[in-house]
Amino acid sequence: MNTEDILTLAVKSISNKQLRSWLTIIGIVIGVATIVLMISMGDAFRVVIIKTLGQFGTDIITIVPGAESASFGPGRPPGQTVSFIKSNLTENDAKMIKSLPGVQYVSGSVSDKKEVSYAGQSATLSVEGVDASSWRFLTATELESGRYLSAGDSNVAVIGNKVAHTIYKNEIKQNYLVSVSGQQFRVVGVLKSGGIITQEDNSIFIPKERARSLMEIGEKDLSKITVKVSDPDSIADIGEKIKERLRASHRVQEGSEDFSIISLESIKSRVDEVLASTNAFLGGMAFIALLVGTIGIINTMFMTVMERTRQIGTLKALGMNNFTIMLLYLSESSIIGLVGGVIGIGAAILISPILSAVMQFGALEALAISVSPELIVGALLLSTIIGMIGGVLPAMRAARLQPVEALRYE
C-alpha cells in the first residue's frame, strides 16, 4: 500500500465519523488559536513599547527621588527587595552631575498637579517647571506648532497634545492664554503626541522659576533630573558614576539608595521581563488547551481502533504489515491535528484585527496585531506533531492486534 492509499483511507475514516472528528478538532483549534494570538499580541506590545521608548532617545538618563523603582537602574542585585524611601533631589545634585565627563545637558525640574483653566473649563493637570534654556535638548517629543521654551521666558507655556486637543471643549492653539492656579500663561508651543507611555500629552511645561512660585516645594528641591550624555554607548558607565556621586552626596550605601536611575536600556530590559512572564502565564493556559486536544485525539483514535478491529484483521490477513497499520493511524491523527491547526490559525488571523481595534479603542493607538508567516509555519508543525503524539498509542495497539483475534471481534 503506497502513501496515497494510506492518506485516502485516513481521510475516509475521518469523514465517516464527522461529529466525533470535529469535536476532537475543536480542542486543537482552541489551543493553536490561543498560542498564535498570545505570541502575536506579545510581539505587537513589544514593538509599540520599544518604538515609544525609542522616542526618548538612547542618550537620556532620568533620576527621580525614592528607591521604589530603583530596580530599573543599572547595578541592582537580582531579587533584592528595597523599601520605598522618599527623598528630594536638589539643585546641588544637578550641578554635581553636570560636572561629570560625558554629560552634555542637565535639566532639573519640579512638578505638581494644578488646576488649569481655559475658556471657562477647569481640569487638574500635571504642571512641570523645567529649565527653559536646556529642556528643548532633553525632550524627544517634537512640536506640532510653535516653539519650545527658551532662556528668558517667564509667563509662557508649552502644552501636551491632549491638553491642546481633547481635554477641553475648545482647542487651545499657539498664543492662546491658559490659567494655572489663577496665573495667566501664554501658549508658545504645542507638542505632538508622545505615545502610550509618556505623560507629556497631559502636561503643561512652564519655566522652573515661575513653577516654584505656584508649588509648595523647597527653593532648591527638584522632582527629577534629566541628563543627556554626549555618547550613547557610554550611558551605562555614566549612570554608574552618577550613582556613585549621589550615594556620596546623600550619604547612603549601595543597595540603600534614596533615588532611582532610569535609562532606555534598563526599561527595555524590564519590559522584556514583564512580557516574558505574561507570555509564560498565557502559554501555560494555551498548553492546557492543547493537552485537552491531545487527550481528545487519543480518545478518538482508541475508539477508531476498537470500531475497526475487524477491518484491521482483514488488512493484516491480506498482507499489510504492522508498520503500515501504524502509519495508517498516525496519518489519521496527524490530519486531525493539521486541520485543527489550519482552522486555529485562520481563527487567529480573523480575530487579530478585531483585537487591534479593541486595543485602539482603549487608547493603545499604535498597536497592530498581526500573525507572521514564521508563526503560521510553527503553529502548523506544532498542531501536526500534537496529532501524531495523540495517535502513537492507538496506532501501536492497532499494529499489535493478531489477525485471527481481530477477525473474531464483534
Summarised one tens digit per residue, pLDDT across range 360-392 is 655 455 667 888 888 889 888 888 888 888 777
Closest alpha carbon to 137 in 27, 237, 227: 227
pLDDT for position 87: 47
DSSP H helical ranges for 157-252 = 161-165, 208-214, 235-250
pLDDT: which is higher, 92 or 402: 92
Mind giving me the DSSP string for 66-86? SSTTGGGSTTPPTT-------
pLDDT for position 74: 38
79 vs 82: CA distance, rounded Å: 10
Q: What is the mean pLDDT of the chain?
A: 79
Residues with Cβ within 8 Å of 102's Cβ and at least 6 positions away in sequence, in order, are 229, 230, 231, 234, 237, 238
pLDDT for position 118: 94
Contact 66, 80 (CB under 8 A): no
* pLDDT above 80 (res 73): no
Q: Give whole-number Cα distances, 244 to 58, 81, 175, 237, in Å.
A: 21, 20, 44, 11
Q: In which band, very low, low, confident or very high, does the pLDDT at 61 lie, cut at 50, 70 and 90?
A: confident
Mind giving me the DSSP string for 377-410? HHHHHHHHHHHHHHHHHHHHHHHH--HHHHHH--
pLDDT for position 233: 81
**What's the whole-model pTM score?**
0.58
Torsion 277-279-281-283 (CA) sign = negative
Ranking 149-153, 164-168, 263-267, 378-382 by mean pLDDT, the lowest is 263-267
pLDDT: which is higher, 166 or 326: 166
Estimate the crossing angle of helix 322-361 against helix 3-16, to 10 degrees: 60
pLDDT: which is higher, 267 or 236: 236
**Listed ranges 27-31, 191-195, 224-228, 354-358; the one with the highest mean pLDDT:** 224-228
pLDDT for position 298: 79
pLDDT for position 217: 79
Q: What are 159's strand-pairing partners?
A: 190, 204
What are the domain boundaries of the chain? 3-52+269-408, 88-257
pLDDT for position 15: 73
* pLDDT above 80 (res 346): yes
Which class for 45: exposed (0-12), middle (13-18), buried (19 or more C-beta within 10 A)? buried
